[in-house]
Structure formats: C-alpha cells, structure tokens
Chains A and B, each alone.
Chain A
C-alpha cells in the first residue's frame, strides 16, 4: 500500500514529476553519451596507435632501446617467435628490424626510423597495409620496395616510384646503405611518425646489412586486448633475458591520456549526479512541504517514523526510476546510431591528427556501463531522498495538522 501511495503521489503533480523524469532522462543520456563518445575516442586512439602501430606487446634486446644500435638484436629470434606463437592468448606475432638512419632523395634527406617487416605476417599483426593510400603494400614482386609516409614524400619532394637511398649504421659500426623504390605512400593519423618512419621488407633490410638472421623487435597482438597485463607478465617470466613491454609501457602517454579521460568522465558524471541530486531534493522537499497536513494526519493516526521515511524514500526512488529506462533507451539508440555512422570531428581534425587520432569518432559503450549508470542514479536518488524523508519524519503531527 505504501508503494501504491508513493506511486500515485508521483502522478499527483504530473508536471513536476515529468520535469524530474525528464531531468533523469537527460542526465543519463548526457552521461552515457559523453561516456560513449570518450569510449569511441579512446577506441579510435587505441586502434590507431596501439593496434596498428605499437601492437600490444613488443620484445627487444634489453640494450636496444637506449642506443638503438643495430647490433642489439634478439638472440635466437625464431625460437622466441615459435614459443610465442604457441601462446593461446596471442592472435598474431611478427619479427621486425629497426634501424635509425637517413632517407635521402636526390634533392634532400631526412632522419628516419627504418623498419623492416615481414609483409605477410605484419598484415595479421598490425594490419599496417590499411594505411597505404597510394601504390601498393608489399606484393612480394618488387625488390627493395619502400613504403613512405605522405609527410615525408612532401618533404623529400619525391613521388611514387621515386628512388631513394636508405642509410644506417651496420652491426660492425660501418655505414651501410641501399637503394629503394617507393612502392606505396601511407598515411596514418599520426603525422609525426609518418614523417619519421619508412617501411621496407625485412628480407631487403637484412640484405642491405649482409645478414639474414637479425631481428630487433618482436611485436604481437592479443586475442583479447584487455588481457595485455597478464599476458605481458607471463611472457616477461618466460623470457627473463629479453625486454618485454606492453603498449602501456611503450606508450605511457597513451595510458596517461586514457586515465585522464577516465578522470574527466568521473568528474563530469559527478557533476551530473550532483545536479540530478539537487533537482530531486528540491522537488521532494516541495512535495513534503505541500503534504505537511497529510503527513501530520498520517503520523497522528499511526504511521510510524520508519514507514513515513520509507514512503518518501520509495516515492523519490520510483520517481527517479521512471526516468531511468527512458534515459537508457535513448542513450542506447543514440550510441548505436552514432556507433554505426560515427561523429565527424572534421573541424578539429587538423589538430587531432598531431595527437595520433583520426577525425571520426564512433561512440562506444561497454554493456556494463548501462548498469553502472543505473546504479549511480539509484545511489544518487537514494542519497537525495534522505533529506526530504528526514524532513517528513521531523514534522510534529499536532502542528502539521493545524498548519494552514
């Protein structure tokens, strides 16, 4: 019966209740939409900078990173590769060569990182091929082909099929170099790295070096990106003499950005919930004041304090929860729609690309978030209901009844 009373009381002041329901709907929608937008943003960022470039976990010679010298190779790379290939959590793994050197065109030169890849396996690991905008990805026919970033093409004044010379320090300290032909021009959303990285076939790289077994980097992607920490730890244990790093270690700035975004989201949610809380407190206080005589009468005839308290709590919570399904439904529709069609950030794209992000955002929400927000709203309603309920039980029946 208390439930019935509470429910009917909600519809007593229809407009006011509708305002709260609307506020709840809007609050949930705005909260979820921002979450999903940020989720999409992070996904995009992760996809570009982690999945397609860093990969999830990389392995190096422990000395490699500091000096980037060509002699710090991974010992017995095929053996390590085989061990990792047999790890059930790993989706794909590849070997790479990495050198720091010079890329020169007839007119000018630029310092670049030269990465030798196994084109077939790399496709499965990072799917780098998708970034090739002009020409082709390595097709296995052209010898000494090179993929050059659009930015570098502009800088070196070269074009498709231009000949360029890659120069880097060999293992014995000698300078080695090789002539390569531009077979493709790629463009990722990270302009900085596009300017400073060229890709060649690993076989060609080793040929320039005069050696066919050196590898500097093992990169892998996992079946489940969320497992990166546990898999990383396991591989670290498996190869104690190698340097095993997850993308979180390789790109701490991405982690920081992720954390920062999560933090901002929490603050925003907090603000939404605070606003919602105040709206609820306000409305329910009004409802309690209006019903002073009725509440006084109820306490006079024998509605005890815990029941009175419960009645106002139930009313507040049900009021809030009427809005919940609307908010969640609306969010679901919006997120699904934009998740498919994306939101264009073209206006900001120039600045964004420098951070390694693309200009389309596809909102994304984990299913759990819907529940989390429902729980958050519930807690807010619960907290917001307390004060009006206390005000209700503090009423003195004798005075309340005679209030005009």
Chain B
C-alpha cells in the first residue's frame, strides 16, 4: 500500500477575487521509505502542495489519501489530531518553541501523544544523539545555530513516529555546510528508520541527494524522476 496517494489535486487561491491557480491536477504516489525532493521555481506551488499533503490546507479539487484514509474530508480539529499521530513537519524556520530547551522541544510532541515518561526520555536522548546534539540537550533554540535548530526540528519530527515527514525548504536558511549536514542526518534517518521524507528545495546540492525528484512548473508536475 502507498503511504500517500495524491489524486487529481488542484488548488486555486483567490487574491482579491482574482483566481490564482497554485497547483493544478497533481497526481502523485509515495511508497514507504522514499526520499523525495519537490523542486521548482518560486511560486511553482511547492509549499501549497506540501500544505495540502499535510492537511494544513484543503485542495479545491481532488483528494489526498494517507495509508488508505481520505484525509481531505477530515474536519480541521480531526486533522490536527491526525497530524499529531501520523505526520512529521520541518519548516523553513520557527520550528521550535523558543521557551523550551532542545530536549523539551522534542519531548513536547510525545507528551501531546501521551506517551509514557520512560519511553519519552529514552527516545529524546536517542534522537538528539542521532542528530549530533547530545551536548545541546538543555540549550534553548536562541542559543543554537540555524543548523542545530533544524536538526532539533528533524529529531522532533521523528519523535512522534510519523508515517512520513514533510519538510518545506528545510535548508533555505542554512549555509552549505549546515545544509549538507542536515541532509546527511535526514538520509541517515531515512535509511535507519525507513521513514518517508518529502522535502521541497531550490538548492541543487540538496536535489542531488534525493532519490526521487519531482519538478513543479506553474503548479503542474512537469517531471518525476528517480535518481541513484
């Protein structure tokens, strides 16, 4: 079974009553363990598509099916709970709760899932170690570099044991070294935990690392290729 099925999804925004088609008739399927990049110029609809997959936005037409469940029809509140249990997110920035330490940020999502304390503590330590931040556990985001913050975000996204992780330009604010490091960690996680990653990017060095590259042009999938 596919992890994600996107069937004929279109999204039209209305900017001052003028219809702006952001995504048009997109059909895509993702299987478990994919490491896919969503690429395309600015305004091509990457963010819109990721938001629709993650249920942060509703498509104007079409449907998104996650492990057989049509999530397009879920109410906003149901969708929040669905995201909590099934989807990990990494955004371009402002991923973390500023008043919580790295450890607390990662633990927070597991607390929302009501996981037992012992499990939480064990997994937090494990994940922060995997992203190389074992010595930053009790540091707050504002005392960490952008790269370190993004690594905490990846750890947080994994902590909830989601079915897949969506990352909208996770490296956009990072220098190339930090970006490469973050990609290393992501692909590591992808390999070790067999977790599906879908990320959008502009960066050609990031694109190189993806196993599958989906190109959007003016909201339409213009190419979808496997590499390596």
Binding site for B on A (CB under 8 A): 1, 4-5, 8-9, 12, 293-294, 297-305, 307, 396-398, 401-402
A-B contact pairs, 8 of them (CB 8 A): A5-B97, A12-B99, A298-B97, A300-B83, A301-B109, A304-B81, A396-B56, A398-B51
Query: B2-10, B87-95, B190-198: which one contacts chain A?
Result: B87-95
**8 Å CB interface, B63-122 against A:** 76-77, 80-81, 83-85, 88-89, 91, 94-95, 97-100, 104, 107-109, 111-113
**8 Å CB interface, B147-188 against A:** 156-157, 160
Instruction: For the complex, give the distance between the alpha carbons of A4 and B104 in Å.
Output: 10
Docked-complex contact A12 and B97, CB < 8 angstroms: no
Q: Is B130 an interface residue (CB 8 A)?
A: no
Instruction: For the complex, give the distance between the alpha carbons of A401 and B91 in Å.
Output: 8
Instruction: For the complex, give the distance between the alpha carbons of A1 and B120 in Å.
Output: 13
In the assembled complex, how far is the CB of residue B119 from the closest CB belonging to chain A, in whole angstroms? 15
Docked-complex contact A302 and B99, CB < 8 angstroms: no
Give B157's nearest chain A residue, CB to CB: A301
Cβ-neighbour of B94 out of A1, A294, A305, A396 (below 8 A): A294
Q: Is B219 an interface residue (CB 8 A)?
A: no
Q: Is B201 an interface residue (CB 8 A)?
A: no
Cβ-neighbour of A302 out of B51, B84, B94, B97 (below 8 A): B84
Instruction: For the complex, give the distance between the alpha carbons of A53 and B91 in Å.
Output: 79
Docked-complex contact B99 and A402, CB < 8 angstroms: no
Docked-complex contact B80 and A8, CB < 8 angstroms: no
Instruction: For the complex, give the distance between the alpha carbons of A16 and B7 in Å.
Output: 49
In the assembled complex, how far is the CB of residue A5 from the closest CB belonging to chain B, in whole angstroms? 6
Q: Is B54 an interface residue (CB 8 A)?
A: yes
Docked-complex contact B80 and A305, CB < 8 angstroms: yes
Q: Is B143 an interface residue (CB 8 A)?
A: no
Q: Is B57 an interface residue (CB 8 A)?
A: yes
Instruction: For the complex, give the distance between the alpha carbons of A401 and B47 in Å.
Output: 11
Instruction: For the complex, give the distance between the alpha carbons of A52 and B206 in Å.
Output: 92
Docked-complex contact B54 and A300, CB < 8 angstroms: yes
Question: Given that A5-B100, A300-B56 are known contacts, is A307 also in contact with B112, CB under 8 Å in the complex?
Answer: yes
- Main secondary structure, interface of A, reads helix
Instruction: For the complex, give the distance between the alpha carbons of A1 and B157 in Å.
Output: 18
Instruction: For the complex, give the distance between the alpha carbons of A293 and B92 in Å.
Output: 11
Docked-complex contact B77 and A304, CB < 8 angstroms: yes
Give B54's nearest chain A residue, CB to CB: A300
Cβ-neighbour of A8 out of B56, B91, B99, B107 (below 8 A): B99
In the assembled complex, how far is the CB of residue B157 from the closest CB belonging to chain A, in whole angstroms? 8
Question: Given that A301-B83, A402-B47 are known contacts, is A1 also in contact with B108, CB under 8 Å in the complex?
Answer: yes
Docked-complex contact B111 and A1, CB < 8 angstroms: yes
Give A8's nearest chain B residue, CB to CB: B99
Instruction: For the complex, give the distance between the alpha carbons of A402 and B98 in Å.
Output: 17
Given contacts A300-B54, A302-B85, A401-B56, 13 further A-B contacts (CB under 8 A): A1-B104, A4-B100, A4-B104, A5-B100, A297-B94, A302-B83, A302-B112, A303-B84, A303-B112, A307-B112, A398-B57, A401-B91, A401-B94
Most buried by B among A302, A396, A397: A302
| Chain A residues near B104 (CB-CB < 8 A) | 1, 4
Give A292's nearest chain B residue, CB to CB: B94
Question: Given that A1-B111, A5-B99, A9-B99 are known contacts, is A299 also in contact with B80, CB under 8 Å in the complex?
Answer: yes
In the assembled complex, how far is the CB of residue A397 from the closest CB belonging to chain B, in whole angstroms? 5
| Chain B residues near A303 (CB-CB < 8 A) | 80, 84, 112
| Chain B residues near A299 (CB-CB < 8 A) | 80
In the assembled complex, how far is the CB of residue A49 from the closest CB belonging to chain B, in whole angstroms? 58
| Chain B residues near A8 (CB-CB < 8 A) | 99-100
Give B83's nearest chain A residue, CB to CB: A302
| Chain B residues near A12 (CB-CB < 8 A) | 98-99
Docked-complex contact A297 and B95, CB < 8 angstroms: yes
In the assembled complex, how far is the CB of residue B14 from the closest CB belonging to chain A, in whole angstroms? 14
| Chain A residues near B54 (CB-CB < 8 A) | 300
Docked-complex contact B111 and A301, CB < 8 angstroms: no
Instruction: For the complex, give the distance between the alpha carbons of A294 and B93 in Å.
Output: 10
Instruction: For the complex, give the distance between the alpha carbons of A305 and B76 in Å.
Output: 9
Docked-complex contact A301 and B156, CB < 8 angstroms: yes
In the assembled complex, how far is the CB of residue B100 from the closest CB belonging to chain A, in whole angstroms? 7
Give A291's nearest chain B residue, CB to CB: B98
| Chain A residues near B99 (CB-CB < 8 A) | 5, 8-9, 12
Instruction: For the complex, give the distance between the alpha carbons of A166 and B57 in Å.
Output: 97
Docked-complex contact B80 and A304, CB < 8 angstroms: yes
Q: Mark B44-55, 1 if CB is under 8 A from A, else 0.
A: 000100010010
Docked-complex contact B112 and A305, CB < 8 angstroms: no
